[in-house]
A and B are shown apart, each in its own frame.
Chain A
Amino acid sequence: MSTQQEIRFSGFGGQGIIRCALITGKALSLYADKYAAMTQVIGPEARGSACSAQVVVSDTRILYPYITHPGILMALSQDAYEKYYQELSPGGVLIVEQDLVKLHPEHPGLSVWQVPATRFAEELGNRLFTNLVALGFFTAVTKMVTDEAMKKALPGLVPDRFLKINIKAFEKGYVYGLEALSEGRTAP
């Protein structure tokens, strides 16, 4: 079997979706001994509307850099959820923003997780940290990469003066994710 894993981060422009993919790709390729290729959908539509970035992860060199059968989808907006959840492979992991995404009643074959990332970010002082909360949650739930590697990847990808608060946001999401995981708190 292929050791390849495909992840899609999605939401609306301005939520820090691309940043999520950059941090994850950097953590995996520089601090987790994996190959990672990150691509993004670019275009004039990149602000305020649907936004998506993809990371392909592998133990060997990545030949085809785009995703075809994602195993993990993070959707931080209703549009992104509706647009992408059906492409998830059987057994796939779906992570959504709890307050922004109204889920369909059932997702057969998927493991569905909800995180109130925007609310947590606002509690930390600014909704700009939403992506880091979601990324912390992603790290705990998917176990794709260690929290240490992710935090190591932050310098250079978030402004220096906001590094500490971003780490705090990440940890908030991570701890919430560990709790959700241990309690098996999945949606149908």
Chain B
Amino acid sequence: MNKTKNGGYAEAQRVAADPKGVDAGAHFMDGDHAIAEGGLAAGCRFFAGYPITPSTETAERFAERAPEVGALFIQMEDEIASIAALIGAAWGGQKVMTVTCGPGFSLMVENLGLAAMTETPMVIANVQRGGPSTGMPTLTAQQDMMQAKWGPHGDNAIIALCPDSPQECFDLTVEAFNLSEFYRVPVIILTDETVGHMHEKVVIPPADQIPVVPRNNYKGPKEDFRPYQFDCQGGHPMTQAGDGYRFHITGLTHNERGYPAATAEQNKILLTHLIEKINGNADQIIRLDEDQIEGAEVVVVSYGITSRIAVKAMQDARKEGIKVGSLRLITIWPFCEKRIEEISSQVKAIVVAELNYGQMVREVERSAAGRCKVISVNSCGGAVHDPQEILDAIRRAAQ
């Protein structure tokens, strides 16, 4: 692991959350509301968004809580303006978030690229519904997994996390802000209508038990300030507009002062940094939830709501004597290719269950590289899998 002067994400400075934003205690809450609470707990004080089912409840919760927390909520004219406002507010010194779903996310991808290019921290929750286009506004899906990574034009890297419950909606939104602040990168919460609208118990810890990565604002001599440092690491300071430091933000290929320098040489330096600060630190970023993989002949790979159905199928298969384990992707991007590589050399087959026509299965196939069978249990969305479908695939895989 590359160690830099900044240290890694694990050693990033963390402080206790601001109690003003923390609604501590046990709640019976849906995933959408938990995302808003996670953002407020993590110190987000700026939300710009445009309502869209099934994500609107997050915006409602944030708007309702904003006055008492001292946060700002703006309902924008559309999703393009929403994410543009986030970029501005982030450089104005705020931790920022928005929420949307497929159609809105499609509008956001242009400025998502700008945010990645300008290394602007922000959290975007995509509460996925069935598509394409306006599709099924009230019904669940996991069809935007690839869009989250490949939506913007040009090479870039983002981080995406996938909660399987309202509790994780809270926990992972806090985590998303911490990752976003440290790596100065957009972090996407890829949840779905089921988790977003499902109510379950959500425990919000007291503020002093929520570690938060604070905004790292530069405080040194003016002449030494660099808004960018292209060393393939995180932990670099920003500045807040109006603090007196000269800086420049552009979507053009730029130097460490932020000024345009559109040359092949500079683009190599910049692009390598943007991608390797994430991919090169994948070991520190990636979180997985593994169950009974040791000695398994079949492993089910899944994420989000589908992982809960997959675990049910796994339990049923184990009752039949099939040695099957579960790998739940908490971090979607960067993808856990090393772990899939290891598993693929130990098992007969990997079953990939997802609420789309087959998206993350491509990553699994690429990482397994023919070392084991890969069986896709895909779906057109609109409803979660019947556990039986996944069980049948596990049986086929075990043969």
Q: Is A108 an interface residue when CB atoms closer than 8 A count as contact?
A: no
Complex: how many Å from CA A62 to CA B198?
12
Find out whether the CB atom of B312 lies under 8 angstroms from the CB atom of A39: no
- Chain B nearest CB from A24 CB (Å) reads 10
Instruction: Name which residue of chain B comes closest to A61, CB basis.
Output: B308
Complex: how many Å from CA A66 to CA B386?
10
Complex: how many Å from CA A32 to CA B325?
32
Name A64-86 residues within 8 Å CB distance of B.
64-66
Q: B residues within 8 A CB of A17? A: none
Find out whether the CB atom of B200 lies under 8 angstroms from the CB atom of A43: no
Find out whether the CB atom of B199 lies under 8 angstroms from the CB atom of A22: yes
- 3 nearest A-B residue pairs (beta carbon): A26-B28, A38-B199, A63-B312
Can you add 4 more A-B contacts, CB < 8 Å, to A26-B199, A39-B197? A37-B198, A63-B308, A64-B312, A64-B384
Find out whether the CB atom of A66 lies under 8 angstroms from the CB atom of B201: no
Find out whether the CB atom of B197 lies under 8 angstroms from the CB atom of A30: no
Instruction: Name which residue of chain B comes closest to A157, CB basis.
Output: B28
- Chain B nearest CB from A151 CB (Å) reads 15
Q: A residues within 8 A CB of B199? A: 22, 25-26, 37-39
Q: B residues within 8 A CB of A43? A: 138
Complex: how many Å from CA A81 to CA B138?
24
Name B11-43 residues within 8 Å CB distance of A.
26-28
Find out whether the CB atom of B198 lies under 8 angstroms from the CB atom of A42: no
Q: List 8 A-B contacts (CB under 8 A).
A: A36-B201, A38-B28, A39-B199, A42-B138, A62-B308, A63-B309, A63-B315, A64-B309
Q: Is A35 an interface residue when CB atoms closer than 8 A count as contact?
A: yes
- Chain A nearest CB from B23 CB (Å) reads 11
Q: B residues within 8 A CB of A39? A: 194, 197-199
Q: B residues within 8 A CB of A64? A: 308-309, 312, 384, 387
Q: Is A111 an interface residue when CB atoms closer than 8 A count as contact?
A: no
- Chain A nearest CB from B144 CB (Å) reads 20
Q: Is A40 an interface residue when CB atoms closer than 8 A count as contact?
A: yes
* B residues lining the A interface (CB < 8 Å): 26-28, 53-54, 138, 194, 197-201, 305, 308-309, 311-312, 315, 384, 387
Complex: how many Å from CA A35 to CA B26?
13
Q: A65-B194, A66-B384 are in contact. Are A35 and B201 (CB under 8 A)?
A: yes
Q: Is A5 an interface residue when CB atoms closer than 8 A count as contact?
A: no
Q: Is A29 an interface residue when CB atoms closer than 8 A count as contact?
A: yes
Q: A residues within 8 A CB of B315? A: 63
Q: A29-B200, A30-B201 are in contact. Are A65 and B28 (CB under 8 A)?
A: no
Find out whether the CB atom of A65 lies under 8 angstroms from the CB atom of B308: yes
Q: B residues within 8 A CB of A30? A: 26-28, 201
Find out whether the CB atom of B28 lies under 8 angstroms from the CB atom of A37: no
The residue that A37 contacts in the complex, of B26, B138, B200, B311, with Cβ under 8 A, is B200
- Chain A nearest CB from B200 CB (Å) reads 5
Complex: how many Å from CA A38 to CA B384?
15
Instruction: Name which residue of chain B comes closest to A63, CB basis.
Output: B312
Name A1-59 residues within 8 Å CB distance of B.
22, 25-26, 29-30, 35-40, 42-43
Q: A63-B312, A66-B384 are in contact. Are A42 and B201 (CB under 8 A)?
A: no
- Chain B nearest CB from A158 CB (Å) reads 14
Instruction: Name which residue of chain B comes closest to A38, CB basis.
Output: B199
Find out whether the CB atom of A63 lies under 8 angstroms from the CB atom of B311: yes
Q: B residues within 8 A CB of A38? A: 28, 198-200
Instruction: Name which residue of chain A comes closest to B26, CB basis.
Output: A30
- Chain B nearest CB from A20 CB (Å) reads 13
Name A148-173 residues within 8 Å CB distance of B.
153
Complex: how many Å from CA A35 to CA B309?
16
Q: A residues within 8 A CB of B138? A: 42-43
- Chain B nearest CB from A84 CB (Å) reads 18
Find out whether the CB atom of A25 lies under 8 angstroms from the CB atom of B28: yes
Instruction: Name which residue of chain A comes closest to B385, CB basis.
Output: A64
Complex: how many Å from CA A62 to CA B305?
11
Complex: how many Å from CA A12 to CA B315?
38
- Chain B nearest CB from A145 CB (Å) reads 13
Complex: how many Å from CA A29 to CA B198?
13
Instruction: Name which residue of chain B comes closest to A68, CB basis.
Output: B386
Instruction: Name which residue of chain B comes closest to A18, CB basis.
Output: B199
